[in-house]
Amino acid sequence: MLIDRPERLAVGVVAPKGARRPANEVAVALDRRLSRETEGDVLFDPASRGRYATDASIYQIMPVGVLVPKSDRDVAVALEIARELAVPVLPRGAGTSQCGQTTGAALVIDTTKHLRNVVAVDAERRVATVEPGLVLDHLNAQLKPLGLWFPVDVSTSAQATIGGMAGNNSCGSRSIAYGNMVHNVLGIDTLLADGAAVSFGPMNDASGRAAAIGAFVRDLALRNRGEIEARWPKVLRRVAGYNLDIFQPQSEKPYTGDGSVNLAHLLVGAEGTLAWSRTLTLKLAPLPSAKVLGVVNFPTFHAAMDAAQQIVTLGPTAVELVDRTMIDLALANPAFAATMTTALRGQPAAILLVEFAGDAKQALLTRLGRLVELMGDLSLPGSVVEMTDEAAQKNLWEVRKAGLNIMMSLKGDGKPVSFIEDCAVPLEYLAEYTDALTEVFARHGTRGTWYAHASVGTLHVRPILDMRRDGAGKMRSIAEEASVLVRKFKGAFSGEHGDGLCRGEWIEWQFGPHINDAFRSIKDVLDPNGLFNPGKIVDPPKMDDSALFRFPPPQAPAPYRTIALVPALDWSAWDVQNDPRTEAISAPGTGDDSTGGFAKAVEMCNNNGHCRKFDAGTMCPSFRATRDEQHVTRGRANTLRLALSGQLGTDAFTSEAVKEALDLCVSCKGCKRECPTGVDMARMKIEFLAHYTKRHGHSLKDRLIARLPDYAHTVSRVAWLANARNWIPGAALLGERLLGLAAKRKLPTWRSDTFWRARDENDFASAGATLAAAQAGEKVAVLFVDTFNGVFESENALAAARVLKAAGYTLHTLDKGGGHHCCGRTFLASGRVDEARDRVGALIDALLPFAQAGIAIVGLEPSCLLTLRDEALALGLGDKAIAVSKQALLFEEFIAREAKAGRFDVAFTPVEAPMLVHGHCHQKAFAAVAPILDVLRLVPGAKPALIETSCCGMSGSFGYEARHHAVSMAMAEASLLPAIRNAPDAIVVADGTSCRQQIAHGTKREALHVARVLERFLPST
């Protein structure tokens, strides 16, 4: 069925005049025609539509269908078909809008996959023309060599598209210096609702249709001159409604340098309601060659707000506020803690990040000095942390940019909600406004977490509300009281993120009925039949129409409910509620989640789109390879949420649609660390597979791979036979047909000289001797040898033993009937949680006496060893698992720790060759990459360089599977393999078994475990 629950939510409420509800037949016809007449991806299945039903707001509306166009021509064809079938169209970039403007019962057209080219750059004139789906950071990366940038630096710069930024009239942290989008767009080439291609630019150059539209709007503006003068907010940060004031600018900053009128500005901030932007011409700025940052630590929030007006007189390019709650959340987040610490002096209630940028560093340092003086004058001597190093500044800006995401990491149903989150007031009223708003929140039993563009009076405050229960009522009351304050202080109700669904109804409040009618006239002239993004800006619904919520409360027509499910893993840490006043979390398991906390863990995804990134870090390798919404963490979390709440039909949780969404997840755990709300999709995939395989059974390949640790020892005795697949002609092809293992891949070579057979027994102490040595204060460790390093690459385990012995450690290694214990990883990877629990339980029992004696458990394979610190804690194994996890260390972590403590002292021989290091994804997820570099530097002359990589693409058996081979290689080719090819003399270091295999397959080079590199430089005895 095509029209289901969320469709019911949308229609009627948001449909504008002229747009009719798309019936099933219409949707079917639309699907058919788009598939036939365009080259793009046409997505009409419920799961795909569900993935486009939300943006970063509290709303959800199921679209009619989705088109991911391959070309501009596809868009033109789609608009024509939509017009003929009377289906509305919703343009979409990254979908990071916070107000619901990117949700709608329409045909969604996603620009991000293909329409992302830079069309032209004129460096001399400082002008660039780009396609709408180009991401801001990607544009700036291309401009950097020219010494230029596009300076509307939104926090979502790694995801936000230029089309979406123009749609929202976005504003960056440095808007005090550069202005908003409206100040930086020079022209927009469009397709209008009737299919006409019209270019909007300077009014003076306009002809034909553009000139007629310009004349119409000019007359409208003239007729409303008095109203505009009286009611238009005079602040820089006003983004509500259409920019009718281009003829009579009301902004603190003129829209154009020479005071002329640019008709493209009419479309900026129009939220996709007036026209389709095909290309956008932008004004570029010279890249400042130097920046300095002063972080001012304040004892009270009020003092920070009050100081902003004095600080702006020093001419900063940015003044950004971070409050105590956000400081604490950043300190609690492993990705941000270290950086946040560098900014603090004691325990401030708030900090202001004050940036000065320009070409002469000395002049900037003088200004920084003035900031220090000013703070002294304001009785805050010693409150400024001076950051002159650009890398340190960049790290802190990243934390500030992640502000909202950090806030959203609050567990429980109460979440910080966006609806008055960007009101802007003149600076002189900032402190008074924040005090008054704090009282409003308190009256409604909540409080806000604050961060702000203090330089321009925009306050990002979100009260914590439970939208599944009483949030809607409180939202309205708070909005009404906040609006009184905004009016009192002559501010703008909508100052940055747009109107969308949460502020659409406030447009008339802000501008009055006459200007509101003028907005309707503009819509009527450009889009008379309401083709584009209905229900936004003109004829919006009520902000608190709970039928439009992502989590509709019990009184809504279709309340949000989750299915009953007994989880295989322990998710109770998410099954909690929070107190909106204190943000205190209730005890695990008390959150009333029918899935034991699994659904609430999934719901932590607030759709901010941070996972759609290509910059440093790992997340999300499958999206980096495919650019499909289905294959990004957000798409997966949305699919799981919709399935767990019954919105994809009965039994959807164990359906093929969910399996497909998770199929390319390589379980790299990139999201566990890099998703600001900690969505751990790798763990979620295990949970899913546990249920899916219960219903559908396991494939032969999955069974063979899962049980590998069980039979590895026995099979290694007949290694020659086991390797037959690699050398008998046709065997690989047969294997592909029977097991789905890619014939193109050589499988790991079985060997009979396993670690357990090849080791010198004398090198290892008995359990008793090891415990006694530990008690005597000697240097002791337990070497945990996994299946892969034990059976297929025993030289790694032997090397580790040699290095540790050379450093004087008494070593013990576990034995199990001449074979080995297993961490359960291969079982977890195929959802066999019970069997994994058995294996890892036995391993933990064997390790427990050593852990209790405080002896380090040293492992080699990151995914195996780190299972002890991760999944083993979610298997219900109790305190013993915690005890073992605390002693579990990777080989390099152990050596780095011991070297730091002065207990590891080996005189390695020098190295001359360069070294290239690739971190395994799980090492990255556990911040365990730096120790590899630290221990390599123990070798004299070593200058290890880290390759900036995401996942290598092999990920256990993933890359061996025929259906994944292409995407696996695409992940590897993104940066890893080219970097290695470019360094033919380098020693390549990779601790992950599958990483080494991928490198060997892709470059024919041998990568070494760090243990073998150290072994190579051991002094000869």
Q: Which of 899, 913, 858, 910 is nearest to 1018 (CA)?
A: 910
Interaction partner, residue 547 (ligand FAD, ligand SF4, none; CB < 5-8 Å by kind): none
The whole-angstrom separation of Cα 470 and Cα 488 is: 28
CB nearer ligand SF4, residue 618 or residue 993: 618
The whole-angstrom separation of Cα 878 and Cα 874 is: 9
Minimum separation from the CB atom of position 673 to ligand SF4 (A)? 9
Minimum separation from the CB atom of position 638 to ligand SF4 (A)? 8
276 binds ligand FAD (CB under 6 A): yes
Tell me the per-residue interface mask from 838 to 877 with ligand FAD, x by CB under 6 A, - otherwise: ----------------------------------------
Q: Which residues of this chain interact with ligand SF4, rule CB under 6 A?
A: 605-611, 619-622, 633-634, 636-637, 665-671, 675, 677, 679, 681-682
The whole-angstrom separation of Cα 672 and Cα 682 is: 8
Interaction partner, residue 272 (ligand SF4, ligand FAD, none; CB < 5-8 Å by kind): ligand FAD
Minimum separation from the CB atom of position 691 to ligand SF4 (A)? 18
**Pairing status of strand 448-453 against strand 318-323:** antiparallel
Interaction partner, residue 681 (ligand FAD, ligand SF4, none; CB < 5-8 Å by kind): ligand SF4
793 binds ligand FAD (CB under 6 A): no
CB neighbour burial string for 296-332, b if at least 16 within 10 angstroms, e if fewer: bbbeebbbbbbbbbebbebebbbbbbbbbbbbebbee
**Pairing status of strand 197-200 against strand 285-286:** unpaired
* Interface region with ligand FAD, contact rule CB under 6 A, candidates 208-216, 271-279, 552-560, 854-862: 271-279
Minimum separation from the CB atom of position 50 to ligand SF4 (A)? 14
Interaction partner, residue 449 (ligand SF4, ligand FAD, none; CB < 5-8 Å by kind): none
Interaction partner, residue 496 (ligand FAD, ligand SF4, none; CB < 5-8 Å by kind): ligand FAD
CB nearer ligand SF4, residue 139 or residue 671: 671
The whole-angstrom separation of Cα 1007 and Cα 968 is: 18
3-state DSSP assignment of residue 582: coil
132 binds ligand FAD (CB under 6 A): yes
CB neighbour burial string for 616-626, b if at least 16 within 10 angstroms, e if fewer: ebbbbbbbbbb
CB nearer ligand FAD, residue 154 or residue 368: 154
CB nearer ligand SF4, residue 567 or residue 621: 621
Q: State both tokens at 619.
A: 């997340």
C-beta separation of 766 from 981 below 8 A: no
Among 96, 103, 339, 595, binds ligand FAD (CB under 6 A): 96
Among 38, 277, 339, 630, binds ligand FAD (CB under 6 A): 277
Minimum separation from the CB atom of position 164 to ligand FAD (A)? 2
Tell me which DSSP letter residue 317 carries. S
Interaction partner, residue 170 (ligand FAD, ligand SF4, none; CB < 5-8 Å by kind): ligand FAD
Q: Which of 973, 899, 902, 962 is nearest to 936 (CA)?
A: 899
167 binds ligand FAD (CB under 6 A): yes
CB nearer ligand SF4, residue 182 or residue 928: 928
Considering only residues 598 through 617, tell me which ones interact with ligand FAD, judged by CB under 6 A.
608
CB nearer ligand SF4, residue 57 or residue 606: 606
* Interface region with ligand FAD, contact rule CB under 6 A, candidates 154-162, 355-363, 440-448, 846-854: 154-162
Among 171, 385, 602, 866, binds ligand FAD (CB under 6 A): 171
Among 100, 163, 316, 580, binds ligand FAD (CB under 6 A): 163
Among 2, 89, 105, 160, binds ligand FAD (CB under 6 A): 160
In what order do the strands lie in the sheet containing 65-68?
A: 41-43, 65-68, 107-110, 89-92
Among 31, 55, 413, 544, binds ligand FAD (CB under 6 A): 55
3-state DSSP assignment of residue 356: strand
Interaction partner, residue 634 (ligand SF4, ligand FAD, none; CB < 5-8 Å by kind): ligand SF4
Interaction partner, residue 311 (ligand SF4, ligand FAD, none; CB < 5-8 Å by kind): none
Interaction partner, residue 683 (ligand SF4, ligand FAD, none; CB < 5-8 Å by kind): none
Q: Which amino acid makes up residue 736?
A: E
End-to-end CA distance of the chain: 75
Interaction partner, residue 669 (ligand FAD, ligand SF4, none; CB < 5-8 Å by kind): ligand SF4
902's CB contacts (< 8 A; 6+ apart) are none
The whole-angstrom separation of Cα 534 and Cα 528 is: 11
Q: Which amino acid makes up residue 295?
A: V
Minimum separation from the CB atom of position 266 to ligand FAD (A)? 12
Interaction partner, residue 221 (ligand SF4, ligand FAD, none; CB < 5-8 Å by kind): none
Q: Which amino acid makes up residue 128?
A: A
Tell me the per-residue interface mask from 56 to 95 with ligand FAD, x by CB under 6 A, - otherwise: x---------------------------------xxxxxx
Tell me the C-alpha to C-alpha distance, in Å, between residue 76 and each of 66, 67, 79, 112, 566.
15, 12, 5, 16, 49
Query: Exposed, middle or buried, 746 (CB in 10 Å: 0-12/13-18/19+)?
Result: middle
Q: Which of 584, 579, 606 is nearest to 466 (CA)?
A: 579
Minimum separation from the CB atom of position 579 to ligand FAD (A)? 24
The whole-angstrom separation of Cα 201 and Cα 25 is: 40
Phi–psi pair at 964, nearest 5 degrees: -105, -5
The whole-angstrom separation of Cα 244 and Cα 246 is: 6
CB nearer ligand SF4, residue 925 or residue 986: 925
The whole-angstrom separation of Cα 417 and Cα 344 is: 27
- Half-sphere CA count of 951, side-chain side, radius 13 A: 30
Minimum separation from the CB atom of position 669 to ligand FAD (A)? 22
CB nearer ligand SF4, residue 621 or residue 862: 621
Size of site (CB under 6 A) for ligand FAD: 38
449 binds ligand FAD (CB under 6 A): no
CB nearer ligand FAD, residue 56 or residue 321: 56
Minimum separation from the CB atom of position 447 to ligand FAD (A)? 20
Considering only residues 490 through 549, tell me which ones interact with ligand FAD, judged by CB under 6 A.
496-497, 533
957 binds ligand FAD (CB under 6 A): no
Place of tokens 């002292």: 905
CB neighbour burial string for 272-294, b if at least 16 within 10 angstroms, e if fewer: bbbbbbbbbbbbbbebbebbbbb
Largest Cα separation within the chain, whole Å, is: 96
Minimum separation from the CB atom of position 409 to ligand FAD (A)? 12
Minimum separation from the CB atom of position 678 to ligand SF4 (A)? 8
C-beta separation of 64 from 27 below 8 A: yes
Q: Which of 104, 65, 111 is nearest to 85 (CA)?
A: 65
Q: Which residues are bridge partners to 195 per DSSP?
A: none
Q: State both tokens at 128.
A: 């660039």
Interaction partner, residue 611 (ligand FAD, ligand SF4, none; CB < 5-8 Å by kind): ligand SF4
Q: State both tokens at 29.
A: 């016809």
CB nearer ligand FAD, residue 106 or residue 890: 106
Report H helices in 707-754: 708-715, 719-722, 724-727, 731-739
Minimum separation from the CB atom of position 863 to ligand SF4 (A)? 12
Which residues contribute to the site for ligand FAD (CB under 6 A)? 55-56, 90-98, 101-102, 111, 132, 154-156, 160-161, 163-165, 167-168, 170-172, 271-272, 276-277, 404-405, 496-497, 533, 608
